Amino acid sequence: MNTLVLQLDEKTVQYLIQTLKEHRIQSTNAYVRFAAKFKQVTILIYASRKVVFQGKNASAVAQELGYKPAVHNSNQDNIKNEQDCPLIGSDEVGNGSYFGGLAVVASFVKQADHAFLRELGVDDSKNLTDVKIKQIAPLLEAKLPHKALLLSPQKYNEVVGDNKLHNAVSVKVALHNQAIFLLLQEGCQPDKIVIDAFTSPKNYQKYLKNENNRFLNPLTLEEKAEGKYLAVAVSSIIARKLFLDNLDELSQKVGFNLPSGAGQQSDKIASQILKTYGKLGLETTAKLHFKNTKKAYQLLKKE
């Protein structure tokens, strides 16, 4: 049996899924996102966007679908890049959501972990379904050194806002710094530390001066780092699960299905929480400095 493996971008994967939807078959592999049988060739699309063609005519079918098999370079997987070293990656989830806490995770990943992570389908949490995240995160938590911090809405509201200890940026600096510091304290020795950029390096260093727990290791803030570094992607997945679990717990506590994000649905739910529990209901479930709070009060007045 001939096997051809391609790594495709998300846009191309979506096109391929659309093209093969009438030939879809079931797959028991938890890591397979989509499977199809086309002209006696089995085509498997993994969550990592790796696409495998299996069958006697694998190369021909791939070419028919528009993908020319590249000459395999045995050195391809060993090309030195910026993440081929022990690395700590840090990311946060919940920053843009009105309801729920703010989750920050720092993870330590070595090159020896890369094959496991890619086979698992590790990717930026925004590219994975919540179901997939809840499947993958426990496996990552069990295998990789990491530190996960959750700032609950109630604690968030105590420290973030006008005339309080933090603003929306400085609180993230504090949490990222603490998560990385704790990981280093446990003996992790990274060659590089990367944070998914949420502010400028200059701004980060300005707020960092207020933190007591400091480390000397240099760190880098990079935009879209979760798509460049597996360590950051791991942190984004664990943080997403932590945020979702917190959102579920808060939903059960108040009896409302709290949505992620900060759209109109959040305004409507917030107004109902105000009606039922008063301001205390929002203080324990939402980030009060968001504009949604004002909109919720306006909706309540209209009732």
For residue 11, the model assigns a pLDDT of 80
Same domain, 124 and 45: no
Same domain, 142 and 212: yes
Strands (E), 94-226: 102-109, 146-151, 192-196, 220-222
- The answer to whether 36 and 43 have CB atoms below 8 angstroms apart is yes
Same domain, 139 and 7: no
Strands 192-196 and 87-93, sheet pairing = parallel
Same domain, 165 and 33: no
**Residue 265 reports pLDDT greater than 80:** yes
- How far, in Å, CA of 135 to CA of 120, rounded? 10
177's tokens: 């710094």
Same domain, 263 and 234: no
Residue 94: what residue type?
G
Same domain, 232 and 131: yes
For residue 1, the model assigns a pLDDT of 54
- How far, in Å, CA of 77 to CA of 60, rounded? 24
Domain count, the chain: 3
- The answer to whether 228 and 257 have CB atoms below 8 angstroms apart is no
- The answer as to whether 76 is a domain residue is no
Same domain, 159 and 260: no
- The answer as to whether 120 is a domain residue is yes
Same domain, 57 and 115: no
Q: Which residue has the tokens 């609180």?
A: 171
Same domain, 123 and 223: yes
Out of 115-119, 121-125, 159-163, 276-280, which region has the weakest mean confidence (pLDDT)? Answer: 121-125
Residue 245: what residue type?
D
Mean predicted confidence (pLDDT) in 35-46: 90
- The answer as to whether 215 is a domain residue is yes
Same domain, 57 and 147: no
- How far, in Å, CA of 7 to CA of 27, rounded? 19
For residue 83, the model assigns a pLDDT of 80
231's tokens: 């360590």
Question: If you count DSSP H runs as helices and E runs as strands, how many of each does the chain have, helices first?
Answer: 11, 9
**Residue 302 reports pLDDT greater than 90:** no
- The answer as to whether 80 is a domain residue is no
On the CB side of 294, CA atoms within 13 Å amount to: 3
Q: 46-99, pLDDT tens digit by residue?
A: 888 888 888 888 888 888 887 754 433 333 333 235 788 899 999 999 999 999
Q: Which helix (H) or strand (E) segment is 241 a member of? A: helix 230-254
For residue 68, the model assigns a pLDDT of 54
Residue 158: what residue type?
E
Q: 192-204, pLDDT tens digit by residue?
A: 999 999 999 999 9
pTM: 0.73
Same domain, 49 and 117: no
- The answer as to whether 82 is a domain residue is no
Q: 203-230, pLDDT tens digit by residue?
A: 999 999 999 998 888 899 999 898 889 9
| Of 13, 38, 69, the domain-final residue | 69
For residue 62, the model assigns a pLDDT of 83
For residue 282, the model assigns a pLDDT of 97
- How far, in Å, CA of 71 to CA of 180, rounded? 41
For residue 24, the model assigns a pLDDT of 93
Q: 103-150, pLDDT tens digit by residue?
A: 999 999 999 999 999 888 887 667 788 888 999 999 999 999 999 999
* Domain extent for 41: 3-69
